[in-house]
Structure 1
Amino acid sequence: MPAVARRRVRLALRSAREATGLSQQDVAGAIGWSLSKLQRIELGEVTISPTDLRAALEKYGVTDENYIASLMEDAWAARRERYWTNPEYREHLPPGLLQLLQFELAATSIREYQTAMVPGHLQTAAAADATIGWFDKSLTDDERRVRRDVRLSRKRDVFEREGAPHYLLLLDESALWRSVGGLQVAADQFESLAEEAALPNVHVRVLPMDAGALMGSSGAFVVLDLSDEPDDAVLYRETYLRDELVQDPAEVGYHRDVFERFWYRALDEDASRALILARVYDLRARIARAACGVDGTPT
């Protein structure tokens, strides 16, 4: 998990520097680095070589050999990222999603808010095909294929592995009224979502449209906690063909607070599951009526 390793190294270095009271300028000058190099390392924009890591830790007075060895291993892991990532993923997925896939494997809890549709990793194969099909010519055939494969594998990798994180999904009610892929695909999708919501580590709540007007303006996002430490978390945001992974503690904390506020305004889990199933029954009734010629040709 190179992205996780890189984060551990950058947080450890920043914390060690701050403990000494030294500024970035002080450290860069003392070690012989440019200021921008140190800034980029602490922001996680670049990896650090084991040699540079040891020089920095020596400057900060870190002497615990076990701790140093652990950070050195993380530094090596981060620099080996190109060998650990599926080559097709590197070629066809946006950078934020590549990092998200790694953070998901290390997460202890995941909070996700979706405004328009069921999240990709909870989509059925047919719903994934319909959703990715929306991109029309914005994606190549290879990009479509890789995104589909990733959507279907993430459910297994995130929810079905040992030590799976607690997953909290806050779904805007409007998502239930979008028949992505037609009535049959939508009915199967919502039925699948209701089944996933029954898993012990999966918690799904529906935010009524009248209660979620303000929440909807924030856009979809995901907050991943990597430990019990509040600052040890990342934020993922995605819009159409662009995405980003944010590690600023203030920004992550703000989105976590927004999520928590609206989580308790949403329908509880039993009521949410009942609403999702009611939508399934409605869709299946419409399909049956259409098949009998009562209200036209099925969608």
Structure 2
Amino acid sequence: MLHGPAVRRRKLGEELRSLRHTAGLTSREAARLLGWHQSKVSRVETGASGVTPSDVARLLDAYAVRDPRSRSLLEVLAGSAGGGGSEWWHAYRGLIPPQYRDFISLESQASTVRTLETSVVPGLLQTAGYARAVTRASLGGLPEEHLDSLVEVRLTRQRVLRTSSPPRFTAVLDEAVLHREVGGPEVMRDQVQHLMQMSQLPHVCLQLLPFSAGAYIGLTGPFVIFSFPNISDLDVVVLDHLTSSLYLERKEDLDAYSSAFRTLQAHALPPERSLDLISEIGRS
């Protein structure tokens, strides 16, 4: 298990090495095309060092990679692997930790996001009031201006669901999430209404695990699975802890969490019945 940037560097290096082989180039030939030392190409391909998005673009030019989405994903991947970048979240570098920036980068490029939440509404579906209450409680003692900025980050993240090519977002929520009065009754009423509205988007699917489901796999903690198009073996599972996040990318881990999510969906209420229960809880 590694933290996000290390996983991203290794994934990026593996993909760049594969593209170099496809282009029929040796590492020495690739280095000569870019005016680099061969050792730099080797360090990038093994994940020993980061590489900037602009250098990735130069490598992709050398390897004749033309597909825009593949190029964009690899360039953003370089930024999340510790290679810099100019994406919107980098404006908050002094406020949000590297793990959070890495998470946002993955989220912004994923084609599918699957999440289990056992205690709070997923960040992509939170209202401003709910996000403020959650952030204030989890990071007590923050100056008000820092709190404002963190809420702004949370709300800006949500734009990914309104793009022309949004990810398929599937969330399984424990019923307890909607009974926990985060921010008070008015905030929760707004939050429940927002969930109902967001569920109408064709790429958003909400399923509720009712109390009657009893114990279930995943009960001990939430997780997120990011899946990506065009690039093989790039999926990743993210587990959040109090002070850090862990990124799992071994095939065994991905298979286990994907299987667990399918099991959770099978035990959860179907989307239509889930919305009925969400609406009923909102009226209570």
Matched, 1:78 2:78: yes
Contact 2:17 2:45 in 1 (8 A): no
Structure 1 unmatched ranges of 5 or more: 20-30, 58-63, 283-299
Question: Superposed, which structure 2 residues align to 1:1-299 within 5 Å?
Answer: 9-13=12-16, 15=18, 33=39, 38=43, 42-43=46-47, 46-47=50-51, 65-67=63-65, 74=74, 78=78, 81-84=84-87, 86-137=89-140, 139-155=142-158, 157-211=159-213, 213-227=215-229, 231-282=233-284
Q: Which amino acid aligns with 1:78?
A: A
Structure 1 residues 77 and 119, CA gap change in structure 2 (3 angstroms): closer
Question: Radius of gyration: which is bigger?
Answer: 1
Structure 1 stretch 41-50 or stretch 178-187: which is displaced more?
A: 41-50
Q: Structure 1 residue 196: deviation in Å?
A: 0.9
**C-alpha separation between the residues in 2 aligned to 1:76 and 1:229?**
13
Q: Which residue of 2 aligns with 1:287?
A: none
Partner of 1:23: none
Query: Do 1:116 and 1:172's aligned partners in 2 also have CA atoms closer than 8 Å?
Result: yes
Structure 2: which 5+ residue stretches go unaligned? 23-36
In the TM superposition, what is the alpha-carbon distance from 1:115 to its structure 2 partner?
A: 0.5
Per-residue CA deviation, residues 199-252 of structure 1 (Å, 9 max, x unaligned), is 111000001234362334441111111116672212222233422333333323
TM-score w.r.t. the length of structure 2 is 0.74
Query: Quick one: distance in 2 between partners of 1:272 and 1:115?
Result: 15
| Identity of matched residues, % | 26
What is the Cα deviation at residue 136 of structure 1? Answer: 5.0
Distance (Å, rounded) in 2 between the aligned partners of 1:44 and 1:102: 20
CA distance in 1, matches of 2:175, 2:93: 34
Q: Which residue of 2 aligns with 1:293?
A: none
Q: How many residues align?
A: 257
Please, what is the CA RMSD of the aligned residues?
3.8
Quick check: 1:227–1:233 contact (8 Å CA) kept in 2? no
Question: Within 2, Cα distance between the matches of 1:7 and 1:103?
Answer: 15
